[in-house]
Structure 1
């Protein structure tokens, strides 16, 4: 008789543990109060790529990895209007605990309180915190981390870049996008003291454009930011770049976008 009474309970308990969303499925919605005491819903960001950091405000490794979500994941994409980041406190701790968490981690994006239910909805348990999830602009889970944030940061960034590359706005018609990343020869070349460097991006990317001498020493950083797709132009004045007079000779300018690196030479003459 006892077995008959316990069996339904066991079945229900197992089902609740296993209930979770899988990659490719619609992201479970939620509405929580932010640290600033504002009501925030996932549906507020329909049409945007959403990054979620599931954390515990009193979790030691979440404190260690919080700065990674801010500096490596949020900041490179923060100027893209099609991107948003949210932190969900799955430990359901107090406002003061979350304020301390923000202060210690330096996180500047929105933190939501009492969000343990979402951890159950996404992971089927209450122990899978310090995880990253990415939601597409269509509202589907496109990435669901299985380890701590510091173990899959590169994968998360790659997924966000891929999803943002699919997001085309009316201000950026698809037929105006270059079909590849390219770096043009500077003009004029040789030059003294200023020259112009042009390059093309076929999708929104984190961009680095730097000048080096022939020994490999960095002379100047011209660009270090996330940029939308399109044609770009940057000017460089060799006399004012380093605060001192640069010698005549060959210099290298290098464009980095994600894993792609393009390099060309130019000549400064006096």
Structure 2
């Protein structure tokens, strides 16, 4: 992560942050051993036992195998565009490049780089009787094909 992501995109407004619930001595030693220059944040422990933290618990994904590493790419809009528990640098590069280019993400068959988040807003007055109003938003006004 240090060389492949942090140093590669450091000048492109990409923030890389490590988060862990281990003690400060372990964090410091990890930074020295791995030559890390990106920030490592200490997570507040969420309780006794397995060593998870408050932030880790918020992003925990059950049944995903090993909990470490857990990588997220979050866009400037606050949406999560990538989650994985194995390092997949090539895929991460693709997502970062798309987000930095400011391109609209379109889904074409066989090219699902980013799965869009769909938010359904409650239809009214009654989706089963008569006319129904459905609320939606467009990222920008444009003609649809």
**Range class of TM-score, shorter chain:** 0.5 to 0.7
Distance 2:33 2:94 in 1: 27
Q: Does 1:96 align with 2:25?
A: yes
Q: Tell me by how many angstroms 1:131 deviates.
A: 2.1
Q: Which structure 1 residue ranges, 4+ long, deviate > 6 Å from structure 2?
A: none
User: Over aligned residue pairs, what C-alpha RMSD do you find?
Assistant: 2.0
TM-score by length of structure 2 reads 0.58
Q: Is the 8 A contact 1:143 1:159 kept in 2?
A: yes
Which residue is equivalent to 1:133?
A: 72
Task: Report SS of the residue matched to 1:102.
Answer: helix
Matches within 5 A, 1:43-62: none
Task: Give unpaired runs (5+ residues) of structure 2.
Answer: 45-52, 104-145
Q: Per residue, is there more strand in 1 or in 2?
A: 1
Q: Does 1:148 align with 2:86?
A: yes
Q: Tell me by how many angstroms 1:117 deviates.
A: 1.9
Distance 2:10 2:32 in 1: 19
Residue by residue over 1:40-66, the C-alpha shift from the partner in whole angstroms, topping out at 9 and shown as x without a partner, is: xxxxxxxxxxxxxxxxxxxxxxxxxxx
Structure having the higher Rg: 1
Task: Give unpaired runs (5+ residues) of structure 1.
Answer: 1-68, 168-270
Task: Report SS of the residue matched to 1:83.
Answer: coil
Distance 1:104 1:79 in 2: 24
Residue by residue over 1:188-227, the C-alpha shift from the partner in whole angstroms, topping out at 9 and shown as x without a partner, is: xxxxxxxxxxxxxxxxxxxxxxxxxxxxxxxxxxxxxxxx
